[in-house]
Amino acid sequence: MLILDNIEYKIDNFSLGPLNISIEKGEYLALFGASGSGKSTLLEIISGIRKPKKGRIILNNRDITNIAPQKRDISIVFQDYALFPNMTVFENIAYPLKIRKIDKQKMDENINELSQKLKIETLLKRYPLNLSGGEKQRVALSRAIIHKPSLLLLDEPLSALDQDLRVEAIDILRQIKSFGITTIHVSHNKEEAKELASSILYL
């Protein structure tokens, strides 16, 4: 499903690779490593934010190494969630569907269904400024998966949450895992994603 073929990346004094990784459809990969080991950099390479110096990225038998990020069918959730502050929760979640020109009725149905599953249906008219950390995370995850991407990248999605919210967030990630979306979850906390992971990679 996802193949990283001899990927190498270098900038200043930092180098990553060569890496050869193969991930099956529906797999939940936990990616661990010390600070500065290149975990987030690897996600940015896969998503297209950064370009590798060598190697190929194959997604669903398609070479996407030189494809623009918005055309890769990959979603990424950052540590700070990167929600649009001037948009409501509904508008944030709808954004990936709007740029894909999904019919409004279908869009409304999909958002209402997903918001109920992730228990944010009461938040749809609110703005990110008025949300708690846990609520922002659920909105960011909803926006990331609303269009059913081939690959979901999570860059330390639980790092900003306190312990109680982490327990709740892990339950939400477990639910997302049940949707069958192939996922790479970056973390520095080995216990955080172990119960979710079908495989583990250490950088």
- Span 5-64, pLDDT tens digits: 999 999 999 999 899 999 999 999 999 888 888 999 999 999 999 999 999 999 999 999
pLDDT at 160: 64
∠ CA 17-196-31, rounded to 5°:
10
Tens-place pLDDT, residues 110-167: 999 999 988 899 999 999 999 988 899 889 999 999 999 999 999 988 776 667 777 7
Residue 47 to residue 72: CA distance in whole angstroms: 7
pLDDT at 63: 96
Helices (H), the chain: 39-47, 89-99, 104-117, 133-145, 163-178, 190-194
- Phi, psi (deg, nearest 5) at residue 39: -60, -55
Residue extents of the structural domains in the chain: 84-147
Residue 87 to residue 14: CA distance in whole angstroms: 37
Q: What is the pTM of this model?
A: 0.89
Q: Mean pLDDT, to the nearest integer, of 91-99?
A: 94
The distance in angstroms from the start CA to the end CA of the chain is: 21
pLDDT band for 172, please (50, 70, 90 cuts): confident
81 pLDDT above the threshold of 90 = no
DSSP 11: E
Length of the chain (residues): 203
Residue 150 to residue 159: CA distance in whole angstroms: 24
